[in-house]
Amino acid sequence: MAKAKNPITLSREFGVDQRVLSRVGVLDVTLAIDTKLFIDPLLLSQSRHPEINTQALQEYHSHFDIIIRLLANSRSEGDAAWKAAEKKLAFPEINGTCLGYGAGSIHGSGFGPKLTNRVLRVAAQIVDIGVRDPDLFAAMALFESDIGPDRISDMATNIIFSALSKFNSRVLAELELTGMSFHSGCFLVNPYEEKPTPIILVPTDILRDLPVAHDWDSVADAARRNEELRNKVNQYVASIWLKKTKRDKSRLKSQALTNREAFETLLQAIKSVPAHPYDVASDPEGVIAWATKGEEFADNYPLKLSKKSTASLGDVFDLVREIVFQFRHLVENHGLNKELYRSDRTPRHESTAQRLFFAVAYAYCRANDVDISPEIDTGNGKIDFKLSRGFDDRVLVEIKLSTNPNVLSGYQTQLEVYKAAEETLKAIYLVIDVGSMGRKEAALIKTRNDAAKRREPLSDLEFVDGTIKPSASKR
């Protein structure tokens, strides 16, 4: 998997005002790192764009209507009707939407043969009990653990690709941008991919941070608010109230497939969730603004990095420490800590902090013409700084929030990685206090000191106070 080299956004790369993108209803994505939003098929009918609310919706329903009819006509697994349905359910990986969980890339998650066959078997069971609703496929995400929001999104992208192509052609004309032909459509070209890859512009009003059909809590909450539906849920799929575990998902699946009424109750609960897209303007989870915010803070508070004519691993480490200390300064003294929280002052996801650090670090490196290429991998929480001399001269910065229950074990694991690498790398373990620190700080320091006494290689341990302070007048 290619890793991100920079956090540049669509608006910056192509010189388009963010307000213009907002007006035409297009997401301002980062071009090398996935934005953690997803196309929710249940939002298609709500879109203000005719290509989506008419053509895409029709394409989506028609696609699954055909699969349902094929499964209804299939007499045995592997017959002609079954194989035709299987072909319609094989969704290849889609590259170019810049959406999903891809840590350091924009590549999607397709349906492989095994997953396709498993989904097809479950769908056949659902059709056998008399369900004919095309949305049954999205509903499977509630009880199939490996059908996540990224796969639902890629599934939808495959099906409505023609409509998205028309949407892109219209929007590019409005923005006065020139595209290139990909798959019978016209799209912008992503300059940060090794192979020619389209940038598939996606309407903001069909995006959610978690598709409804995957959001167990929202479905349960919506069902609780409707007495009639609550009674039906309790009657047919009571395990939807249980704690979210793999066992409970399996139990829900068994109950949902009992009869037509049970599954249609589940579908009704899903559809009763208010159909609201992600609030792009306020960005409550910080999944969009991190790149722009990080650059803004770096520009407003410039840092002159020390440079040496001959760079060694120690020199790179010193540069990274300067960036870490400046990041701490921005968080503790200049308000960057506000980006770590939602409007209700609950901490955002750890990946927001990781990406903010990445954006700040990249801006400082670029401004100082420092020959360091940051690479991000938010899947496991690591951000690498690699000297161009080669793989061996690199500094790792791993960021954890104090709310993470694995803060201590994460440090211990990194120590093991450090020991295995011996002198080939250095590392900084950066813990940001956003509450619930408890005794974690003392335990981390003890772990570090114990390793030092044993003369074992160890990561530097740094803490940042990211808590929200009262205003000066209230202190």
pLDDT at 285: 92
* Gap between the Cα atoms of 341 and 56, Å rounded: 35
pLDDT at 396: 82
* Tokens standing for residue 84: 């035709």
335-384 pLDDT tens trace:
999 999 999 999 999 989 999 999 999 999 888 877 777 776 555 546 66
Element (H, E) at 167: helix 161-175
336-348 pLDDT tens trace:
999 999 999 999 9
Lowest mean pLDDT among 100-109, 248-257, 452-461: 100-109
37-74 pLDDT tens trace:
999 999 999 999 999 999 999 999 999 999 999 999 99
Lowest mean pLDDT among 129-138, 384-393, 399-408: 384-393
User: What's the CA angle centered on 170, arms 165 and 171, to 5 degrees?
Assistant: 95
pLDDT at 469: 81
Helices within 33-108 (DSSP H only):
50, 57-73, 80-88
170-207 pLDDT tens trace:
999 999 999 999 877 899 999 988 888 899 999 999 99
* Gap between the Cα atoms of 164 and 59, Å rounded: 11
Report the first-to-last Cα separation within the chain, whole angstroms: 48
| Alpha-carbon dihedral angle through residues 351, 354, 360, 361, given to the nearest 10 degrees | -140
% of the chain beyond a pLDDT of 90: 51
Q: Where are the domains of the chain?
A: 10-215, 290-474
Helix (H, G, I), strand (E, B) or coil at 409: helix
Tell which residue, 156, 140, 258, has the closest CA to residue 208: 156
